[in-house]
Amino acid sequence: MTSTHEVFNQVPPLVGHNTAADPVLREGVEREGAAWALPELDELGRLAGSAEAQEWGRLAERVPPRLHTHDRYGHRVDEVEYVPAYHQLMQTAVEHGLHAAPWADERPGAHVARAAKFYTWNVDAGHGCPISMTYAVVPALRANPDLAKRFEPLLTNREYDFGLRDPETKRGLIAGMSMTEKQGGSDVRANTTTATPQTDGTYVLRGHKWFTSAPMSDLFLTLAQTEAGVSCFLVPRVLPGGERNAMRFMRLKDKLGNRSNASSEIEYDAATGWLVGEEGRGVRTIVEMVNMTRLDCVIGSSAGMRTALTMAAHHASHRSAFGKLLIDQPAMRNVLADLQVESEAATTAMLRLAGANDRAIRGDEGEAALRRIALAVTKYYVCKRAPFMVNEALECLGGNGYIEDFDVARIYREMPLLSIWEGSGNVAALDALRALAKEPHTLDAFLAEAELAAGADARYDAALDRLKKEFTSFDDLELRARRIVEQLALVFQGSQLLRHAPAAVADAFCSSRLGRDWGGAFGTLSPRGDLDAILERALPA
């Protein structure tokens, strides 16, 4: 009997490559002052491209965490159980310093190196959430020097020490944040959780939080109302001495995106917390954490875009149709080149922001002003673009892209989160305009950066002129918010590509995104562009 199950024309697994070999990443890391990190980046990239690490990501996603509110005897425990693969992912991330390690590293470029590693370690998005929050908690925690002195060395230490114990007895700590409530969402001033001061300097918290990711973390920044208004608190899972704090898990969220990370609803049932910053200034205090996680939203979106593109290019390089490889088909070449332009624009902008972040942390006020506005607009735009781009990359795999066994489906599920996290579209756009209104020097810093590319391309110059005209009138500013922020983001991306990308990439970006010689879908680049030169940068190494 003739077999009907002979397998041919299927694409081999994408394993054994170095995810850090992306030329856009390497060029940006060197440009932003972190070339010293390339050897460790390569080590992490080879691990991320290995079959072993990819299996960790697959298992962590396929076997989601389980909530245990009580043990078998009926005692309240409020624990989440993860598969071993999740802990292997966390351990790798912490050992390579993707968490808070840069805050203890005095080398210029340390935060750039961390951004590049976060981008490179792309095998699972879920565990990146607690890693990101641990990175972001440090600048906010410094509003209480005593707490920072106690916990910062453990937050920055490169040891992953999972388990519910007194945090000061552990080798390393993971942090989270718990801000939003069901009645308020992004309007955190509508929070109803209360915090009552005690004679020992602590506060007792009572209330319900609608989203608390990674609930097995050791420490949480949270918001609660005092007599002075919304205030910021550090809440430990386990109190000094070993007693568990009164944080009750109500349920785990059934999310659209990653399944490897637990997101929960919790209640503070007279939980103990320590004040961080001034009473009544909690939003300003926790914004220090939010700004860092917004940067990670850009990094995560850029990484997902690049990973999906790599999968699409790998598939097209091995799959045949109509007598030749997909990658040799003109229509597919246009699609992949267009995806490369989108990915390169996002990654190049992300690395410029990582450099600005590094220099702002070290006291550069000009870079801090640029970061303030460029991060807000890039977070809005790149996180909006990511789902569209990953959808197109998924389509390059045809029906296989729609199947969970092929990892691009997992990336696609995750992409909408990053536009929602730390302020969805309108929140991000209005925040950018608020920054321009309250801190006019941020627009000056942005335009100074944009002017560095002026004269290099007529289409860019015209886009920059159109952008400037948006600020000649402040009527209907909120109504025009998304329009203005999108233009800011495109000009920022264009300025970076014109200065740093190959001519073929910069020309395609300016022609399509700025000059509007482009269709309504990916794969509509002008045939006059050098698609071959662009595609060379898309293939996995």
Instruction: Say which residues have a Cβ less than 8 Å from residue 153's Cβ, sequence separation at least 6.
Output: 104
pLDDT 10s digits, 255-311: 999 999 999 999 999 999 999 999 999 988 988 888 899 999 999 999 999 999 999
Q: Can you tell me the distance from the alpha carbon of 274 to that of 194, in angstroms, rounded to the nearest whole number?
A: 13
State percent of the chain over pLDDT 70. Answer: 100
Contact 326, 315 (CB under 8 A): yes
pLDDT given at position 356: 98
Contact 454, 494 (CB under 8 A): no
CB atoms inside a 10 Å sphere around CB 118: 27
Q: Can you tell me the distance from the alpha carbon of 243 to that of 307, in angstroms, rounded to the nearest whole number?
A: 43
Q: What is the mean pLDDT of the chain?
A: 95
Q: By three-state DSSP, how is residue 404 classified?
A: coil
Q: Would you list the DSSP string of 315-332?
A: HHHH-EETTEEGGGSHHH
The CA dihedral of 445, 449, 455, 458, to the nearest 10 degrees, is: -90
pLDDT at 154 over 90: yes
Q: What does DSSP say about strands 175-178 and 219-226: parallel, antiparallel, or unpaired?
A: parallel
- Structure pTM? 0.96
Instruction: Say which residues have a Cβ less than 8 Å from residue 437's Cβ, sequence separation at least 6.
Output: none
pLDDT 10s digits, 80-126: 999 999 999 999 999 999 999 999 999 999 999 999 999 999 999 99
The residue that leads in pLDDT, 528 or 205, is: 205
pLDDT 10s digits, 465-492: 999 999 887 778 889 999 999 999 999 9
Mark 233-248 as b/e (b = at least 16 C-beta within 10 Å).
bbbbbbbeeeebbbbe
Contact 344, 533 (CB under 8 A): no
Q: How confident is the model at residue 1 (pLDDT cuts 50, 70, 90)?
A: low
Type of residue found at 370: L
pLDDT at 32 over 80: yes
- Find the helix or strand (DSSP H, E) in which 178 lies: strand 175-178
Which phi and psi (to 5°) does residue 190 adopt?
-85, 5
**Helix, strand, coil shares, percent, the chain, to 5:** 55, 15, 35
Residue 264 pairs in a beta bridge with: 212, 252
Q: State both tokens at 424.
A: 């969805």
Helix residue ranges, H only, 182-238: none
pLDDT given at position 188: 78
pLDDT given at position 2: 67
Q: What does DSSP say about strands 247-252 and 194-197: parallel, antiparallel, or unpaired?
A: unpaired
pLDDT at 146 over 90: yes
Residue 514 DSSP symbol: I
Q: Can you tell me the distance from the alpha carbon of 58 to that of 465, in angstroms, rounded to the nearest whole number?
A: 48
pLDDT given at position 67: 97
Q: Minimal CA–CA distance to 394: which of 304, 299, 487, 525?
A: 304
Q: Can you tell me the distance from the alpha carbon of 392 to that of 132, in angstroms, rounded to the nearest whole number?
A: 27
Mean pLDDT of all residues in 35-55: 98
Q: By three-state DSSP, how is residue 44 classified?
A: helix
pLDDT at 4 over 80: no
Mean pLDDT of all residues in 443-472: 96
pLDDT 10s digits, 223-246: 999 999 999 999 999 999 999 999
Instruction: Say which residues have a Cβ less than 8 Å from residue 77's Cβ, sequence separation at least 6.
Output: 68, 69, 70, 71
pLDDT 10s digits, 169-201: 999 999 999 988 888 777 777 889 999 999 999
- Find the helix or strand (DSSP H, E) in which 118 lies: helix 110-120
> Looking up tokens 């560095």, which residue turns up?
452
Q: Can you tell me the distance from the alpha carbon of 86 to that of 300, in angstroms, rounded to the nearest whole number?
A: 18
The residue that leads in pLDDT, 108 or 4, is: 108
Mean pLDDT of all residues in 364-370: 96
Contact 167, 243 (CB under 8 A): no
- Find the helix or strand (DSSP H, E) in which 76 lies: strand 76-81
Contact 348, 493 (CB under 8 A): yes
Which phi and psi (to 5°) does residue 270 adopt?
65, 50
